């Protein structure tokens, strides 16, 4: 969200300021990841009839972004997904142990009545890259899963 209240910056340069800020948000200060959920306010600025240009205001927005963002204490976020794993009862311990290694949080278990369990968990997406292969190996190809994005959470320092 961007708020522009003016000062001595002419209105025709507002789009250049906003464009500079939007472009800066594409490459943030934390490992170059995009910045989201940003609120910025243009309070004031200076204008010179000869030296002012759109590129100058765009560059000024970029420099202001780079100077201000570290002071805002940005936080790296990671995507979290809902995992539903259907497995035979005999593999439950192995699968739960594996989910713990992947920083997963088990949310519940539901027996299906035919010797299987549906295990529900929330797991960081970064931990799911080899899950299909690992689940197949743990369950002798008898386990299946679905994984859907749920939300973003703060990324712990150990995972950055």
pLDDT digits (tens, 9 = 90+) for 7-38: 677 778 888 888 998 998 898 878 788 888 88
CATH code, 58: 3.30.230.10
Measured between alpha carbons, how far is 143 from 99 in angstroms, rounded to an integer? 14
Q: 112-116 long-range CB contacts below 8 Å, 24 or more apart? A: 112/86, 115/88, 115/89, 116/86, 116/87, 116/88, 116/89
State residue 3's pLDDT score: 58
For the segment 129-133, the average pLDDT, to the nearest whole number, is 95
Residue 87 counted as domain residue = yes
For the segment 146-150, the average pLDDT, to the nearest whole number, is 97
Rg of the chain (C-alpha set): 24
Shared domain check, 62 and 88: no
Q: Percentage of residues in the chain with pLDDT exceeding 70?
A: 95
Per-residue pLDDT at 4 exceeds 60: no
Shared domain check, 83 and 136: yes
pLDDT digits (tens, 9 = 90+) for 31-71: 788 888 888 888 777 777 777 788 888 998 899 888 888 88
- How many domains does the structure of the chain reveal? 2
Measured between alpha carbons, how far is 59 from 48 in angstroms, rounded to an integer? 15
CATH code, 137: 3.30.70.240
Query: Whole-model pTM?
Result: 0.70
State residue 1's pLDDT score: 54
Shared domain check, 65 and 90: no
Within 13 Å of residue 85, how many CA atoms lie on the same side as its CB?
A: 34
Is 77 in contact with 152 (CB distance < 8 Å)? yes
Shared domain check, 82 and 53: no
Range of the domain at 106: 77-154
Shared domain check, 48 and 88: no
Strands, sheet with 105-111, edge to edge from the N-terminal-most edge strand: 105-111, 116-124, 77-88, 144-154
Measured between alpha carbons, how far is 82 from 16 in angstroms, rounded to an integer? 40
Beta bridge partners of 120: 84, 108
Per-residue pLDDT at 158 exceeds 60: yes
State residue 130's pLDDT score: 95
State residue 125's pLDDT score: 96
């Amino acid at each position: 969200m961007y708020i522009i209240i003016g000062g001595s910056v002419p209105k025709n340069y507002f789009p250049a300021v906003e464009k500079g800020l939007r472009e800066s948000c594409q490459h943030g200060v934390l490992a170059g990841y995009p910045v989201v959920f940003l609120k910025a306010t243009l309070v004031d600025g200076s204008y010179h009839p000869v030296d002012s240009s759109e590129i100058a205001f765009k560059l000024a927005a970029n420099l202001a972004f780079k100077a201000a963002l570290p002071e805002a204490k940005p936080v790296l976020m990671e995507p979290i997904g809902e995992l539903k794993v259907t497995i035979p009862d005999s593999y439950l311990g192995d699968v739960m142990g594996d989910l713990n290694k992947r920083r997963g949080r088990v949310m519940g278990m539901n027996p299906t009545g035919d010797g299987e369990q549906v295990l529900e968990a929330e797991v960081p997406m970064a931990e799911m890259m080899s899950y299909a292969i690992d689940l197949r190996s743990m369950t002798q190809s008898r386990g299946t899963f679905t994984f859907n994005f749920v939300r973003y959470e703060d990324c712990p320092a150990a995972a950055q």
